[in-house]
Chain A
Amino acid sequence: MSTNPVREFFRRHGSTAVGPGTDYPPDGDDPDDRSEAVDHAAEVDPADWKPVPNPEAPTRPGEAPTRFIDGCYSGEPVTCLWNPSHGWPVAVVLAEVGGVAMKLEGRDLRREFYGLERVVSFVADAFPWDEVEAFAAAVGNLPDFPTRLLPARRPGEDANPFVYEVHRQQAEVRAKQEMNNWEQIALDADPDAPTLLDGRLASDLLTGRPRKGLVVGVVKTHKGDYLHDQGWRAFLRLTPGQRTPFFKINRRQAGGQSALYVATWYVKLALGGQPNDGIVRVEVPWAQFVEDRTTKDERTGFASRLSRWLVDARCRQASYGRAAISLDPVVRAEDSLKSLFTPFGVLRNRFLRHAGVAGSAPP
């Protein structure tokens, strides 16, 4: 019998190796997406929406980001365990997650901060807690492979726990949440510098955190439907360098513990093959957006100057797959962080060897 608690855990629960699989169901919105009230009249009357040309005016001090935050996630399910009481298939996701901050010095971008962690996640409630605790301690102390256990939430009442993908998604969401945590840590490392985040702003972004520097979120994919019909028409007619009018959304966390009002608008960075290509959505915390900008004209000017800056900061590498919706500093941040990750094939094989699922590591 093995004396290795990691191996013992996997052996006892009938571990079998699995591959990445396919999305099922398709990635849903995260909890923040759940109830967002949208105000389309923040800049112009909703019926008057049309593309807004951005002037050549440069940004003012404090308006242009000088720090750039990105997070990375590299993970997959690597094994499946069997719940001892009900027989649910529980996916075990292995991942490396991290966050990075790039600082602009002159025209050079330097890696100012990074955090990186190796994690394993699964629905821990599916197993006796004392076994989970023993496993967590053992896997965290593997001499050449320390890995932190992230217990994932049990699937909701409406989910079928016999569906493997349900467990897999729970585990992946938990691991990606840890990536968001690293981004937050990177953001908090310098609360004064104007900072650009890759992605949407979390509802608890400013909760309990003193922050002077502007925070800008840039969202590349558009899952939420924030626009009304005239808004869509304006969106689809954007030409490179133009933006939509800004509007306001109220982002609330599930359960309502925290909320964030966000000023947001779409900017077309570059031409693409389709009308909706090359467009990103910009988010700025409403409190920062209106601070020192008491009139609508001042807010309009800021949105336009920031949009102009984003167009200038666009990625110009045609060889980069998502160049049309990417910003140069964010691509560099991503490259910088990804270079620190272990190739997933290596990660997977090492983990499975420790788990005794494959390989021949001594007990």
Chain B
Amino acid sequence: MSEPTPVALGKVAAPPDKEATSDEFYFWAARDRVVERTQVVTTTADLGGREVRFVGLVEEVYRQSRQASMGEEVDRFDADPAEAPPFASAGFTYARAKVLRTDPVCHAPPTEEAPVDLGDEAAARLGYGVDAMGQALPVGLLRNGGTAFAGPASIDLDYLLGENGGHLNVNGVAGLGAKSSFLLHVNALLLAEADRQRRELGVSHGERLQIVPVIFNVKNFDLFFIDHWGKKWNEKKGDALPEWRPLGVHDPAPFRDVRFFAPAEPSGNPVDTGRAETTAYSWSLADVIAHGLFRYLFSEEDIYDANFGGLVGDLEDHLTDDRSGEPRLKSVGGIPDTFAKLVDWFRENRDKEPKFKDSAPGTRGKLLRRLKYIVNEGDGVLRKNDPQGKPLVLDNEGGRGPTVIDLFGLRTAPSLQRFVVAAVFHQLVRNRSGSRAVKGLRYVVTLDELNRFAPKSGSDPITKKIVEVAAEMRSQGVILLGAQQQASLVAPQVIENAAVRAVGRSGALEMRADVWRFLGDAARDQASRLSAEEKLLVLPSFRAPMLAKIPYPPWALKQEDAAGRYDPAAPGAVAVARKPDVTTKFA
């Protein structure tokens, strides 16, 4: 089959002040061609006897008239719009393109008058190095101008899941549903990919990808309906289905096998989430000791006070029996077995127990007051009078749907929200450490509102835990899919450690923050004008952000948006992930 004829757009131009560099070049546009920002373009130049192909991304398009001043523009019409000068202005269009890639590698600019063609899917793949990706995962359609596409927009799983980097961070303003939607989208694609590998490689394959999605619900109970069809899906699917196919998803559907957890009320029942199939979660004193969570009960300023922190450690030691190798609550010697009894016990013994006498009486009194406050505030999630709770226990192998854990029900108790987040991460870290680790397994933790859970100035245990996950745990298979409205307000280590970043529409002021400087002026301006379904994708291997259109999701994004529940057993309702139309290299 013959190669398609390239669409000639213009030629490289390099006059003074518009010189081509190894990073960018300008080109003028043929008079009958429309050049648009975000188009992929190619040009070829003979450099030292070697033909070098350049793939570029149009960052801005300019129109220039022949007039030297606005005055001359006015004079042509004598300030009268009805006037028609006999000759057109003969203005011209030119564009600035960022060099995405050269083939072969060449650190030199293209030469003037080199022909510039509109890039196609192959050019886009070359430009963004899809051919060099370890594991390409198409997540959307790559914009090639205002309405056209240049094939799938792919990210490299090696950068998302820990081979070369890890984590995904999404930024965007509130209200568009774009952050949560994209995080769910990536979850769905990862599950589909894991499912594909399971089918193609076999269940027993030791290195097949296994995904355990853990999704924190932070706003209303929106994510408690991701196993329902979205109300607008039927209306939108005509346009959406063709956009899902290049992603390897031919029958997009809501999530299946989802488990929903919500905080327990003092009665032991879960808070009302709007759906019956919700399991309560809670921790008794014994659970807290067994899971090593005792210190997370206390606030940052308390726990990092040397005296107070030391006393907490002494108390935890006193309560813990670790002779079996696994910590558990002592069951001898009058050790309390509930939080309520712990408060009473500590009140009685704080001045008698030799271990506590290293601390000043004031510190002991402070610990007593903190315990009383925590036990009373946390009643429900922390079982005040029950010796047994229902702690969150996460899967240690893939194959199931997401686990949705509600934090919204604890919105009036931020310290408990943080405790729950810490408890989950703590468990994941433990599961992925040592002999418990399962090869190929990735815990993918979705957490929105990072500015709340890992604020920029925060040094509390939760922030530290998230920072630890971001900085150290990707190699152990704990991957954070985080999001926030303003990355400038999030702990820098969390942002910096995200190898894959997605930028949705963001505020212009936010885009001026230092954290976004790496994007460059063109992309920062672009970020403030994106539509809800668009994302700028940034990978370490990209020389310029990739603008992707994300297909409309089939699942409900909130209760009001939920239509019928997805039934995988219904005819034609099974979501089948097929091999994407692009080459990928797995296992």
| Chain A interface residues toward B at CB < 8 A | 104, 106-109, 309, 312-313, 316-319, 328-329, 332
Contact = CB atoms under 8 A, between A and B. Distances in A.
Name the prevailing secondary structure of the B interface residues: loop
Nearest to B69: A319
Which residue, A104, A109, A316, A332, has most C-beta atoms of chain B within 10 A?
Answer: A316
B88 interface: yes
Interface in B26-78: 66-69, 71-72, 75-76
Contact of B88 (A108, A309, A317): A108
Nearest to A313: B86
Interface of B: 66-69, 71-72, 75-76, 84-88, 90
A316 B90 contact: no
Contacts of B84: 107
A109 B75 contact: no
A328 B75 contact: no
A303 to B, nearest CB: 19
Given A316-B76, A317-B66, A328 B87 contact: yes
Contacts, number: 42
A109 B87 contact: yes
Contacts of B75: 316, 318
B72 A107 contact: no
A177 to B, nearest CB: 30
A104 B66 contact: no
Contact of B68 (A106, A313, A317, A332): A317
A104 B71 CA distance: 25
23 contacts: A104-B87, A106-B88, A107-B84, A107-B85, A107-B86, A107-B87, A107-B88, A108-B87, A108-B88, A108-B90, A109-B88, A109-B90, A309-B86, A312-B85, A312-B86, A313-B87, A316-B76, A317-B72, A319-B68, A319-B69, A319-B72, A328-B85, A328-B87
Contacts of B86: 107, 309, 312-313, 328
B70 to A, nearest CB: 12
Nearest to B75: A316
Contact of B67 (A317, A329, A332): A317
Nearest to A110: B31
Contacts of B90: 108-109, 332
B105 to A, nearest CB: 30
Contact of B85 (A106, A316, A318, A332): A316
A316 B88 CA distance: 12
B555 to A, nearest CB: 53
B72 A318 contact: yes
A319 B76 CA distance: 13
A48 B85 CA distance: 34
Which residue, A107, A329, A332, has most C-beta atoms of chain B within 10 A?
Answer: A107
A349 B87 CA distance: 39
Contacts of A329: 87
A106 B66 CA distance: 18
By Cβ-Cβ distance, the 3 closest A-B pairs, closest first, are A319-B68, A107-B88, A108-B88
Contacts of A312: 85-86
B148 to A, nearest CB: 27
Which residue, B68, B72, B75, B86, has most C-beta atoms of chain A within 10 A?
Answer: B86
Nearest to A105: B88
Given A317-B72, A318-B71, 17 more contacts: A107-B84, A109-B87, A109-B88, A109-B90, A309-B86, A312-B86, A313-B86, A317-B67, A318-B68, A318-B75, A319-B67, A319-B68, A328-B85, A328-B86, A328-B87, A332-B87, A332-B90
